[in-house]
Structure 1
Amino acid sequence: MKNSLLCIACMFFFISGAFAQNDSIQDPYKKDNEIKINAVFLLVGAFEASYERNLSETSSVGISMLIPFDEENFDTDLNYYVSPYYRIFFGKKYASGFFLEGFGMVSSYDDRNSFFTGNEFDPTLVTTEETFTNVALGFGLGGKWVIKNGFVFELTSGIGRNIINNSRDNQDFQFVGKFGFNLGYRF
């Protein structure tokens, strides 16, 4: 009886040890979190960072935020944008390969108007500035490559349409675009 219990206990420890070995060996591609920076926008004077959460091997959700920091090179009235997205992957590896994306975008921009007042002998230049917010919906596509140590390379592009029209602004921002070469890390 004691020998049977001892054999059962030993088998239990060996089997649980074997399962523990299988649990500790994890596929390096099957990590769920990613942080990325858009290298293209860094070159032109804006900072865009993204966080992405892999839901399964074929889908993920994420959010990206862009903030311009160099007005000379990034010549736009954009103050920032925040863009949540959902992706469906068609690759063979976990959450990588070709993907389709649906995104939303909340953007803020300044509308500057300059005009002259007064008479022709004493003109005065007056500049007004208002800040507007737009909301857009769109779609995109791209490709994502993940290497074994967790580094991520991503090419992406997309187009969307603003669904809030500000009749007071003088600029015509009906469409928005997203593009970039993102570098990041999966953990």
Structure 2
Amino acid sequence: MKIKLLYFSVLLLASFHLQAQEDEDDYRVPDIEQDNVRATGNNELSLNAFNLIVFAALDASYERILNENTSVELGVFTRFKDVNDDIETDEIFAKEFSVTGSYNWFFSETKRARGFYMKGFMMYSSGEYDEYIHYYYDENGNYQEEYEGIEYSDLAIGIGVGGKFMHKKGFFTDLHFGIGRNLFNDDSPEIIALFDVNLGFRF
């Protein structure tokens, strides 16, 4: 729980820093090419640097801007290897593969599909986690715990908040946090979470 709170705090602080930086950039005389990219680009591609570094996972997204305040997004996550032996994770990061669709609504009335936003999402995910079964003492009197590997696949719905901050030439940083609930499989983790630090390009 402390790890999740730390992730959320870092994302929140980074969001406010990037927002202040973007506001400062907007105050300056705009670059014509950069302004055109922001005004006319309706497509975005991004990569989640956080999941790539921490979980050795490819997490890529395509986003289509619908109008000034809304967009739809499709993301695919796949993990290259089982990281359970490398770092301490809990079942909320048990997924090995997922496909996520989301609808994003941006708060700003002056910035086109950027700044702070809310999202609703639906995720299909599959993975494996270790479930505690029981404990026992071996023949030498040493305490032992036994776990069973549980495989699952499920569909979840959830909500999230984030901030998208444009840089020069159409590049952007997208920070967001989301939480949802799996709906159908009793063996799947009850709660799922998203901690995303996306680096992308609008075109």
Q: TM-score, normalised by structure 1?
A: 0.71
1:36 to 46, 58, 83: 46
Pair 1:128–1:36, CA change in 2 (3 A): same
Q: How far off its partner does 1:176 sit? A: 0.4
When the two chains are superposed, the root-mean-square deviation of aligned CA atoms in Å is: 2.6
| Equivalent residue, structure 1, for 2:127 | 109
| Equivalent residue, structure 2, for 1:50 | 61
Is the aligned partner of 1:99 residue 2:117? Answer: yes
Give the whole-Å Cα distance in 2 for the aligned partners of 1:48 and 1:142.
17
- Percent identity (aligned): 36
Give the whole-Å Cα distance in 1 for the aligned partners of 2:45 and 2:150.
33
CA contact (8 A) 2:37 2:202 kept: no
Give the whole-Å Cα distance in 2 for the aligned partners of 1:59 and 1:28.
17
Pair 1:113–1:29, CA change in 2 (3 A): closer
| Equivalent residue, structure 1, for 2:75 | 64
Q: How far off its partner does 1:133 sit? A: 1.1
Give the whole-Å Cα distance in 1 for the aligned partners of 2:158 and 2:106.
17
Give the whole-Å Cα distance in 1 for the aligned partners of 2:103 and 2:114.
13
Which protein has the bigger helix share? Answer: 2
Q: How far off its partner does 1:47 sit? A: 1.3
Give the whole-Å Cα distance in 2 for the aligned partners of 1:86 and 1:140.
10
Structure number with bigger Rg? 1
Give the whole-Å Cα distance in 2 for the aligned partners of 1:113 and 1:88.
37
Unaligned runs of 5+ in 1: 1-25, 122-126
Give the whole-Å Cα distance in 2 for the aligned partners of 1:48 and 1:81.
9
Aligned counterparts, 1:140-155, within 5 A: 140-155=160-175
2:192 to 167, 172, 176: 176
C-alpha distance after superposition, 1:36-71 (max 9, x if no partner): 001111111111100000000100001111111132
Aligned counterparts, 1:65-80, within 5 A: 65-72=76-83, 73=86, 77-80=94-97
Q: TM-score, normalised by structure 2?
A: 0.66
Give the whole-Å Cα distance in 1 for the aligned partners of 2:148 and 2:174.
40
Pair 1:146–1:114, CA change in 2 (3 A): closer
CA contact (8 A) 1:29 1:148 kept: no
Give the whole-Å Cα distance in 2 for the aligned partners of 1:89 and 1:42.
26
Unaligned runs of 5+ in 2: 1-34, 140-146
CA contact (8 A) 1:153 1:183 kept: yes
CA contact (8 A) 2:152 2:185 kept: no
Q: Which has the higher contact order (CA 8 A, sep 6+)?
A: 2
Give the letter aligned to residue 100 of structure 2. S
| Equivalent residue, structure 2, for 1:81 | 98
Give the whole-Å Cα distance in 1 for the aligned partners of 2:116 and 2:189.
29
